Amino acid sequence: MSIRLIGIDYKLRHEGIKEDDITREVSSKFDFKFEGTSESIVPAMPFYDDDFSIGLIVGPSGSGKSTLLKNFGDADQLEWEHDKAIVSHFDSAIDAQDRLTAVGLSSIPAWFRPHHILSTGEQYRANVARSLKDGAVIDEFTSVVDRSVAKSCSTALNRYIKAKGVKNVVFASCHYDIIEWLEPDWVFDTFTGEYLPRGSLRRPEIKLDLLPCGSEAWAMFRNHHYLSGDLNKSARHWLCVWGAVAVGFTSVLAMPSGTLVNAFRGHRTVVLPDYQGLGIGVRMSDAIGEIYVREGKRYFSKTTHPRMGEYRNKSDKWKATSKNMKKRGSSGANTMLGWEPRTVFSYSHEYKGE
């Protein structure tokens, strides 16, 4: 394995900039010499001369990030049709599902909205999702989104790129707080000239608290559930908190059955969009299952969400039931709400414990 330099330290000269009364007045006030040219410094960048999965160029604005990024390729110019859902802009349903969940955009209702009515954070994630491929270059990474979105998006991207074997994806960002969450193979800091090789960065631990709560907490989560915003009055509820911020909600119902004694099932599980992609939903579900198992009860859960379903298929903590990965009709509750009967693909598991 060898290291090569991308470029050398040099001044990038911009000529032909028009002078006018404003430039003359401002340059005079600050004793700054301006004669229609401007210069910026582009640093030399040490770089591993082999394949990698994720690279990150980081540094303050004006430090040469975008110029260095162009050595790896050109960013895609995306167009979104105003009368199409974002999910319709991918090669297939599976491709859309994989890519959108890869960037932490796991809110299924958002998948069926046009790009222009999404929130800024959702739009950004959708743009990144469509850009994912070998050799992709993504500038201004997380620059226009909330920092919680930046962290969750970085984590989900790392998971997707490594799992799918995507190669040579390079990001450029002015934010240093994403480094530990993106876990790139290498980082080059244009401000210090420091190069961090693979294996030197690890994602920080996320500590969550699961607190019993009342049904009033559901108000901030109901519009983000992918099936129904209704909540059963007899359900028991918990709020998931990260530090001082509420990030998730989950609830449980007793199972009225003549064959199952002392059994309960998951009712609603929602993670707010800004925190999707960090694995919070499946951890909440595990924690609730553990509570019931330790109380000597049985806990079951069904979901049509592919990410949660596949997690449970692979987890030693969950055992598939006879109805797992089978098609089923709409529930009676959904029919009562006036929804059209439909057939959906469902995952079904029982929590067995640590």
Tell whether the model's pLDDT for residue 351 goes beyond 90. yes
3-state secondary structure of 319: strand
User: Kindly report the CA angle at 182 between 177 and 185, in degrees rounded to 5?
Assistant: 115
Tell whether the model's pLDDT for residue 39 goes beyond 80. no
If one compares 225 and 253, the residue with the highest pLDDT of the two is: 253
Give the lowest-confidence range in 43-52, 106-115, 239-248.
Answer: 43-52
Q: CB within 8 A of 118, min separation 6: which ones?
A: 86, 110, 126
Give the lowest-confidence range in 89-103, 303-317, 338-352.
Answer: 338-352
Residue 41 pLDDT class (50, 70, 90 cuts)? low
Write down the CATH number for the domain with range 46-196.
3.40.50.300
User: Which amino acid makes up residue 275?
Assistant: Y
Q: Check residue 190 and give its pLDDT.
A: 85
Q: CB within 8 A of 308, min separation 6: which ones?
A: 269, 281, 282, 285, 347
Q: Check residue 1 and give its pLDDT.
A: 37
Structure tokens at 283: 């951890």
Q: CB within 8 A of 298, min separation 6: which ones?
A: 260, 262, 263, 264, 292, 350
- Pairwise CA distance, residues 42 & 188, whole Å: 13
| Residue 51 and residue 34 in contact, taking contact as beta carbons nearer than 8 Å | no
- What are φ and ψ of residue 153, in 5° steps? -65, -40
Residue 229 pLDDT class (50, 70, 90 cuts)? low
- Render pLDDT for 133-181 as a digit per residue (tens, 0 to 9): 999 999 989 887 778 778 888 988 998 999 899 999 999 999 988 998 9
- Render pLDDT for 45-59 as a digit per residue (tens, 0 to 9): 766 556 789 999 998
Q: Do domains 46-196 and 209-351 have the same CATH topology?
A: no
The candidate with the shortest Cα–Cα distance to 226, out of 303, 280, 314, is 303
Residue that is written with structure tokens 């609603």 in the block: 268
- Render pLDDT for 12-33 as a digit per residue (tens, 0 to 9): 455 677 888 888 888 888 887 7
Q: CB within 8 A of 138, min separation 6: which ones?
A: 75, 128, 131, 169, 170, 171, 172
Average confidence (pLDDT) over 186-197: 81
The candidate with the shortest Cα–Cα distance to 149, out of 188, 110, 185, is 110
- Pairwise CA distance, residues 6 & 73, whole Å: 13
- Render pLDDT for 254-292 as a digit per residue (tens, 0 to 9): 987 667 888 999 999 999 877 887 889 999 999 999 999
Residue that is written with structure tokens 């990144």 in the block: 128
pTM: predicted TM-score of the whole model, two decimal places: 0.67
Burial 194-216 (b: 16+ CB within 10 A, else e): eebeeeebeeeebebebeebeee
CATH architecture of 209-351: 3-Layer(aba) Sandwich (3.40)
Average confidence (pLDDT) over 98-115: 87
The candidate with the shortest Cα–Cα distance to 300, out of 325, 321, 328, is 321
Q: Which helix (H) or strand (E) holds 25?
A: helix 21-29
- Strand extents, DSSP E, 190-235: 195-196, 209-213
Q: How, if at all, do strands 54-58 and 169-173 pair?
A: parallel
If one compares 39 and 65, the residue with the highest pLDDT of the two is: 65
Structure tokens at 63: 């430090």
| Residue 133 and residue 102 in contact, taking contact as beta carbons nearer than 8 Å | no
Give the lowest-confidence range in 34-48, 163-177, 203-217.
Answer: 34-48
Rounded to 10°, the helix 93-102/147-164 angle is 130
Q: Check residue 228 and give its pLDDT.
A: 61
Q: Where are the domains of the chain?
A: 46-196, 209-351
- Pairwise CA distance, residues 215 & 3, whole Å: 58
- Pairwise CA distance, residues 199 & 196, whole Å: 9
- Pairwise CA distance, residues 82 & 115, whole Å: 7
- Give the 3-state DSSP-derived string for 270-289, with helices as H, strands as E and coil as C: EECHHHCCCCHHHHHHHHHH
What number of residues does the chain have? 354
The candidate with the shortest Cα–Cα distance to 252, out of 301, 293, 219, is 301
